Amino acid sequence: MNAPLPNDLSAFWIPFTANRSFKADPRMLASAKDMHFQTPEGRRILDGTAGLWCVNAGHCRPRIVEAIQKQAAILDFAPTFNLAHPLAFELATRVADLMPEGLDHVFFTNSGSESVETALKIALAYQRARGKGHKTRLIGRERGYHGVNFGGISVGGLPKNRMYFNNQLAQVDHLPHTHDLARNAFSSGQPEHGAELADALERLVGLHDASTIAAVIVEPMAGSTGVLPPPKGYLERLRALCDKHDILLIFDEVITGFGRLGAPFAAERFGVTPDLICMAKGITNATVPMGAVGASSQIYQTILDGADAPIELFHGYTYSGHPLACAAALATLDTYEEEGLFERARELEPYFAQAVHSLRDARHVIDIRNIGLAAAVELAPRPGAPTVRAMEVFHKAFDRGLLLRCTGDILAMSPPLIVSKGQIDEIVDGLRKAIDSTD
């Protein structure tokens, strides 16, 4: 049965959306199953973006649905301030088992934004606990997206997310982004050029002195800014420089975590281990909001040993380790493992790469990038009207039955890991038709 459209769209202030134009011509989703959404009118929409980079195992998977339903009737909520419940400990152990060796402690949050905020605070608390409280500066990267809280937009590097909000964190600086269209256009996988861009950290050390810098935070693959895989050698170089200057390295893996790049985390895919990992989205297959921060034993133990109060870290959320989220996450991890979805993503990567790069001759296309089951097609901006062309393609694709992600002049694809080769072809063909029909 088709769901009715709401009579009044005025009350909901829609995030990251042109509210006036959307409410004048709404595009609504009413239900979902596996690889498809369904509109209130009953049209099926192929999900080419795993919802919002997050529904990695596909929609409404029975094991996950059942786990949430059962948990709601057993323990709907339990505080984790001076109390706890068993599922949180079980889940923390399962997540720690997936992380690189040495990262074996997990702090639960409710979103990627909260995970970033938590990681930044843990980094500062660690420096203070070891007697280096003067190390307070945080280094982000241009074109980085780290959520929407004040810490995240401060270390982030998307101007529109920053320019409207004053009073950001002080003592923040940024590395240059790694997008080099002139040298790396149409790269498949990691681009060849750009490892030297990590050396900009040396310049920031020279400007601020390493004794003031607490941490560097980067996305191993920048997702929201349009799928920017790291240049070969870049992350290795950044890790070496952080070690050299006694600076923590934080990976924001909110998008890359849980199989998107064919491994549990991008840290494993690229063979570079950070000191802290931010995660969210795929941890529960997006069914119940949840995030987490993975931390090394050194960081955890240092904060405990250096505490000057019984509570070692004055930080947390009412819903940290929420029972329903824990149940959803455990069922999600079971689904990933039983269906071999991380391995499936790696196996499908060559086919996906070949398919998306077949769009090289489509109208307006100036670049294509991919890694794992993530890809972006960048269009030449319409003169005097940046982002408009890509948004028109996004709308046309949706109207033809395909959901993509529009970010600037870029169309991004990140299908659920259950996608078939036939559905990959359908995604690419749908995008080509939408591009070719757009001036």
pLDDT-derived band at 167 (thresholds 50, 70, 90) equals confident
With a threshold of 0.95, does the pTM exceed it?
yes
Residue 174: pLDDT over 90: yes
Contact call for residues 249 and 242 (beta carbons, < 8 A): yes
Q: Which fold has domain 19-57+340-436?
A: Aspartate Aminotransferase, domain 1 (3.90.1150)
What was the pLDDT predicted at 39?
A: 97
| Residues paired with residue 406 on neighbouring β-strands, in sequence order | 411
Residue 243 has pLDDT above 60, yes or no: yes
Instruction: Give me the chain's average pLDDT, please.
Output: 97
Structure tokens at 79: 């505080």
Q: Is the pLDDT of residue 1 over 80?
A: no
Question: What fold is seen in the domain 65-338?
Answer: Aspartate Aminotransferase; domain 2 (3.40.640)
- CB-based contact 56:253 (threshold 8 Å): no
Confidence of residue 5 (pLDDT cuts 50, 70, 90): low
The answer to whether residue 2 scores a pLDDT higher than 70 is: no
Burial 234-264 (b: 16+ CB within 10 A, else e): bbebbbebbeebebbbbbbbbbbbbbbbbbb
Read off the pLDDT of each residue in 365-387 and give the average, rounded to a whole number: 97
Is 288:372 a contact under the CB 8 Å cutoff? no
Tell me the mean pLDDT in the region 171-179: 97
pLDDT at 175 over 90: yes
**What's the mean pLDDT in 280-296?**
98
Indicate if the pLDDT at residue 217 is higher than 70. Answer: yes
Where in the sequence of the chain do the CATH 3.90.1150.10 domains occur?
19-57+340-436
Element spanning 397, H or E: helix 388-399
pLDDT score at 168: 87
pLDDT at 6: 74
pLDDT over 60 at 241, yes or no: yes
In the chain, CATH 3.40.640.10 sits at 65-338
Mean pLDDT over 111-132 rounds to 98
